[in-house]
Structure 1
């Protein structure tokens, strides 16, 4: 996704850290004679932060992440009514962000808008005018001229930052004259578009060029009214939003937009698109346009849609292209709840936590949700905002977005810099949800990269403001490793045990209730200690946990299990809680029922299943006296035999109706009970112990009879 990104030096991070170390050292020295703990304005310990910074800067090293593995992190470089002249400011804005770990910038709409230099860009007039033509009373856009945009894009490219164009496909505004339309009268629908006249030519675009005008025939309607002979498109959300609604059913429109998309990527130099109000745009057009633009370039183009709908995953299915990501509005609802101080931290929703997590672009706020006067009436995220950013920046799934207004106007830059750095240098490897979560605290682990020592983290975020500290036993997936809190909110270190578990503290506080525990640098990689326990889970024990035994000579974990013939499967579970188990898909026994020796190598994660006995003592027939009328009775076995066994009607003997089933080559032992086609259970547990021939069972009794009672 980010081929330009190169491994950046950590010099700027060290310089900033060094300055903060000096400042905090002065603060600490000033109070040390009074035996006070130095506190920051947010209530966290300045001494703890000094300790964290010293650890990072003092080593002279942060993990060296290969350029192709650097985590993507987006910065939305604007908010409403801000940044006139942005193109000339962008290099200075981007430089420290690039050093912290920002890899991508979402820029405001760069095309000429209806309101000229007052236009934020969403009232788009001419797609092909990027501040180059005298239209709408100005040559430059609000953000500058085309040449200034070109220079800004080059500066970002030099820093390894990809730039995303904010495109408004849904509508156009600012028609130059009216046209008469039957049944509607005079309507503003006729556009001149000088930029289009220069760049959209037959010489440049060949088969994608069509000689047509942007007049009323280029639109479906206006003010919610359809034009004669027009129809709304295949939209996921309501079709009319605002302005002159563009007719994406018209092939000429589609081809021009494909040409424009190529131009933006290949000629202008952008690397991706943020697609405005995309759920109101024809989904067939969206799919075809995205696929076309990606197909004609060697770049890995990034596409993210603003689909402000309840089911974002449903929208992505409706469009049907894997190239398109979407903003995770559902996750933001969790942040609204977090802001209120009553969120249950054990439960998180959103696209990022679904089967489409890889297509999620996460965010806390943007130019629509955080705007002066709150014109859309959006619920606000005001409190626990640092915790929300920690959540999106440390997660394995989703590409997180940092909002300029939070970073600059709301004074969150110091904290966000630290969190962005933590993502840049430590947030790697598989992510693990934790059973340690409570209503007040969410915990999450990244296990790190085997190829890059020092990566991985343990995150804890608090959703309550109790003014205390709590400690949680968490599996870091890094045994015998020393961790420190990169945020500086909690002092000291945590050393994990041979299984990777450690007791990690966090402040239960809004002002400092987020901790990112990362490995102390320059530790000797621990020698592989192997597993301290292993559990067998499968059909023989109904997927419960059975302790395996480690062979002292071979070093292999072993367990003997008896498998039946009905879909015999198993896994090896490291902790007995499913947080780490092998293989990824169930191990399937293919050599028939019987007794097997299961062996597991915890180093190479290799599994063998050796059949040591065909099992059992021959065939056995189980007879059962029914307890109510049913069309079928069923044996339900476990712990040695799996899969329900249908019984056949035997006949009427000794004043009872009997059913039976014969098990060929029965295992040496198993447990069983009975049910029937009515769904009624005789749940008394019986234990089969290797008998052969016939056994008889009465309802509600555990005894096995050799003769029919």
Structure 2
């Protein structure tokens, strides 16, 4: 029977499309990393929700100056994504007082990403605006979210002006080259609204977030800092610097207006205080309580400290755990043990750039990232803790048991599991045992000296 003409035409189009698809070549990781921004899709297919895997802090203090950092990070994105990273946290990206030498924590022009000649340079320490946009596009093409470091407590680099609120002169005249968010004495403390807020930092001019003008420019206006970062630059979330310096409602208002993942740097080792902040801000917080307990445990050789109060135990969905960052003192003893702890417990773990790329065993960190992403589900139960040994289990499916040994000799111990009559193995490769759990779930596990094992079903 003869087919209608329009059906023949449709069949030809389908066949032609199929042939064209077969000829398409998927770019390699190295090719993808070098694609210009215009060649990278703006869509983000399959991008994991921030917090479901592991975040990379993609910088350290005093990364090399010279404007190459954005390109350095961009080249690593495919490998990080393949390792199981779901988000990268970048340093403050806009122009600061020290121009090409600044790490960004002395912000001057929130809308200059390395495209205006001011503060002694056009590019920032990290590179140009186009290089940053290319990095963000490549990150999205690799299913990575990009977290912006936001510094809104204080500013730096303003010119001197007569200040009617102090009776003298202050460096509060901000006239940025972008022409966006001009600031003067009335926008800082003290002013006609009040003398101060939660806290100033380092003698820098302290922004007054109670001012409607400041709120509009930071998050409310259609061309506010928050909306420009999100809609023009493509950032997916926020790391708020020094949130002790202003009230939690500021972060709450920001994320209510623009959304996105948010985490605050509330530098306090008290888990209850951190819980108060996350409840009032609506954001996550870095778990400094966990950081200090790990430091006490591994530096002080007392793993019972790991039983103490931490944010992840109070609010696991709001806790961002970490072993090191650009500001903290180092955990020198048992640093890999600390990573084994955060990768097997609740919270959203962060890997520090220098730990991953320079200082520690990348293969071992990748192994821990894989274990976190594939095995570490459900609530946490601590099974044993003493000076040298710590054992905990995750109660999800399949779940895991982590055995940390801070002593100088091999250890073994009987523990209760959620697996009954099943073969289990150590997914770190530190033990070759493959024991079968008893009918009641008990099993004997081992761990080498100064090491860890992580057990789950085969």
TM-score (norm 2): 0.83
3-state SS in 2 of match to 1:274? strand
Distance 1:402 1:196, change over 3 A: farther
3-state SS in 1 of match to 2:303? coil
Contact conserved, 1:287 with 1:319, CA < 8 A, in 2? Answer: no
Query: Which runs of structure 2 are paired with 1:259-278 in the superposition (5 Å)?
Result: 259-278=224-243
**Corresponding residue of 2:187:** 218
Give the Å deviation of 1:152: 0.4
**Corresponding residue of 1:590:** none
Give the Å deviation of 1:481: 2.1
> How many aligned residue pairs are there?
408
| CA RMSD, 1 decimal | 2.5
Task: Quote the Cα distance in structure 1 between the aligned partners of 2:395 and 2:294.
Answer: 25
Give the Å deviation of 1:434: 3.4
Task: Quote the Cα distance in structure 2 between the aligned partners of 1:391 and 1:310.
Answer: 18
Give the Å deviation of 1:123: 0.8
Contact conserved, 1:171 with 1:246, CA < 8 A, in 2? Answer: yes
Equivalent position to 1:387, from 324, 333, 337: 337
3-state SS in 2 of match to 1:480? coil
Matched, 1:413 2:354: no
Give the Å deviation of 1:164: 0.3
Give the Å deviation of 1:422: 1.3
**Corresponding residue of 2:285:** 326
Distance 1:196 1:365, change over 3 A: farther
**Corresponding residue of 2:206:** 245
**Corresponding residue of 1:160:** 143
Query: Which runs of structure 2 are paired with 1:1-400 in the superposition (5 Å)?
Result: 71-84=52-65, 85-175=68-158, 177-182=159-164, 183-197=166-180, 213-220=182-189, 226=190, 230-233=194-197, 235=198, 238-258=199-219, 259-294=224-259, 301-311=260-270, 313-317=272-276, 320-321=279-280, 323-345=282-304, 347-370=306-329, 380-395=330-345, 397-400=346-349
Write 1 or 2 for the structure with the bigger share of strand. Answer: 1
Contact conserved, 1:472 with 1:504, CA < 8 A, in 2? Answer: yes
Distance 1:313 1:272, change over 3 A: farther
Contact conserved, 1:279 with 1:315, CA < 8 A, in 2? Answer: no
Task: Quote the Cα distance in structure 1 between the aligned partners of 2:161 and 2:47.
Answer: 58
Contact conserved, 1:132 with 1:140, CA < 8 A, in 2? Answer: yes
**Corresponding residue of 2:375:** 426
Write 1 or 2 for the structure with the bigger share of helix. Answer: 2
Distance 1:330 1:346, change over 3 A: closer
Distance 1:127 1:68, change over 3 A: closer
Contact conserved, 1:94 with 1:156, CA < 8 A, in 2? Answer: yes
Q: Can you give the 5+ residue segments of structure 2 that lack an aligned partner in the other structure?
A: 1-27, 30-45
TM-score (norm 1): 0.54
**Corresponding residue of 1:484:** 425
Give the Å deviation of 1:195: 2.1
Task: Quote the Cα distance in structure 2 between the aligned partners of 1:346 and 1:191.
Answer: 48
3-state SS in 2 of match to 1:195? coil
Equivalent position to 2:454, from 505, 516, 524: 516
Contact conserved, 1:346 with 1:441, CA < 8 A, in 2? Answer: no
* Greater relative CO (CA pairs within 8 A, separation 6+): 2
Q: Can you give the 5+ residue segments of structure 1 that lack an aligned partner in the other structure?
A: 1-10, 13-64, 201-212, 221-225, 295-300, 371-379, 450-454, 521-709
Distance 1:320 1:333, change over 3 A: closer
Give the Å deviation of 1:274: 0.5
3-state SS in 2 of match to 1:515? strand
Give the Å deviation of 1:69: 11
**Corresponding residue of 1:462:** 405
Task: Quote the Cα distance in structure 2 between the aligned partners of 1:76 and 1:369.
Answer: 13
Task: Quote the Cα distance in structure 1 between the aligned partners of 2:125 and 2:171.
Answer: 24
